[in-house]
Amino acid sequence: MNYKLIEMQIHGDQRGKLVSLEGNKNIPFEIKRVYYIFDTLPDQDRGMHAHKNMEQIVIALDGACEFVLDDGKTREKVLLNRPDIGLYIGKNMWRVMKNFSYGCKLMVLASDYYNEKEYIRNYDEFLKSING
């Protein structure tokens, strides 16, 4: 399975907490794009795609959601609910985001610019692509 959870260092004191994200340091790629997802609803799933080459880190800045990650052989669930934990998802991983808490805010760091041609949005096509 081409994913891992990365615990970020928290710089905290009586004023609050701060986490710093740096490309090729605690983020294992050069960051080319950042996007965020908000105003989510518990019954509205997202994702349902894989990337041919893109790597991403997802952080639940606020609230929680569940990731179902699938490499075509196994399927695992990951709960994201901490702003100091990054979920790294490598290429060729089918992902579904579900069970969003109301007001969940997800920040995503990506290794490349947005390119719809780089997405696989059909599960059968995903299976075909990873099985050569």
> Residues interacting with ligand TYD, by CB under 6 A?
33, 35, 37, 46-47, 114
Indicate the residue among 85 and 89 with the shorter CB distance to ligand TYD: 89
Name which of 7 and 125 has its Cβ closer to ligand TYD: 125
Q: Let me know if 49 is a catalytic residue.
A: yes
Backbone φ and ψ for 116, nearest 5 degrees, come out as -60, -30
Nearest-approach distance from CB 19 to ligand TYD, in angstroms: 22
Distances in whole angstroms, Cα of residue 117 to Cα of each of 49, 53, 95, 126: 12, 11, 17, 13
In whole angstroms, the minimum distance from the beta carbon of 37 to ligand TYD comes to 6
Catalytic pick among 49, 82, 91, 98: 49
The CA R_g of the chain, rounded to the nearest whole Å, is 15
The nearest distance, CB 97 to ligand TYD, in angstroms, is: 6
Cα dihedral: 115, 52, 66, 88 (round 10) = -100
Which tokens go with 50? 């894989």
Phi (first) and psi of residue 90, to 5 degrees: -85, -170
| Nearer Cβ to ligand TYD (50/85) | 50
Q: Is 9 helix (H, G, I), strand (E, B) or coil?
A: coil
Catalytic residues: 49
